Amino acid sequence: MPDVITDLAEIEQLARARRDEFEILRYQLEAMDDLDDAALDAFVDAVAAPIVAAIDCTQCANCCRSLHVYVTAEDAQRLADGLHIPLDAIETRYINREAAQADDEWGMLRARPCAFLQGKLCSVYAQRPDACRRYPQFTPDFRWTLADTLDGAALCPIIYNVLSEIVRRVDAGELKES
């Protein structure tokens, strides 16, 4: 695995400069009819694991500063229980119910940067929303969610480095159709 890049300004610049390259990867993967989704996901998971292990999110927190985070009803209740605040107070202070966009969304965290971010650490780590727990998510269905993943490459070092390494390995012929 090449050295990972974690400087956020460099990540943003590189990701924008390589956007077309990453889009070509998406087209390549969508055209690989004989590569099934599970095999591709296993390849991606193997690429991502050492990169995720090498990057310390507690030194970054750029997602917590940059992204809109959706919350489910269960997330909201977990925050209420963990913070010992009534659910309606959690909603008033932290959650915009009108911003929910999908059936399973209860609302969105109001503030950006996130109101629960203290320095570069999450002050509600044990109660954080499921969306935060999963981010950044590459699998399942890497091939069919890559368009969304690409949008995160300019802000998330993990995403940028994983996509870079996938491009390198695909170009080297390491991903074979069965």
Per CB under 6 A, residues contacting ligand SF4 are: 55, 57, 60-64, 69, 114, 116-117, 122, 124, 128-129, 132, 135-136, 155-158
Burial 19-43 (b: 16+ CB within 10 A, else e): eeebeebbeebeeeeebeeeebbeb
CA dihedral 89, 91, 93, 94 (to 10 degrees): 140
Shortest distance, position 101 Cβ to ligand SF4, whole Å: 17
- In the complex with ligand SF4, which residue's Cβ is closer, 48 or 114? 114
- In the complex with ligand SF4, which residue's Cβ is closer, 18 or 128? 128
Shortest distance, position 56 Cβ to ligand SF4, whole Å: 8
Of 35, 59, 30, 20, the residue nearest 163 (C-alpha): 20
Local structure of residue 2 (DSSP, 8 states): P
- In the complex with ligand SF4, which residue's Cβ is closer, 157 or 175? 157
Shortest distance, position 9 Cβ to ligand SF4, whole Å: 13
- In the complex with ligand SF4, which residue's Cβ is closer, 28 or 66? 66
- In the complex with ligand SF4, which residue's Cβ is closer, 47 or 175? 47
Taking the C-alpha atoms of residue 47 and residue 28, their distance in angstroms, rounded to an integer, is 17
Shortest distance, position 149 Cβ to ligand SF4, whole Å: 12
> Which residues are within 8 A (CB) of 110 and not within 5 positions of it... i.e. 6 or more apart?
93, 94, 95, 96
Shortest distance, position 36 Cβ to ligand SF4, whole Å: 28
Whether residue 139 contacts residue 45, with contact meaning beta carbons closer than 8 Å, is answered with yes
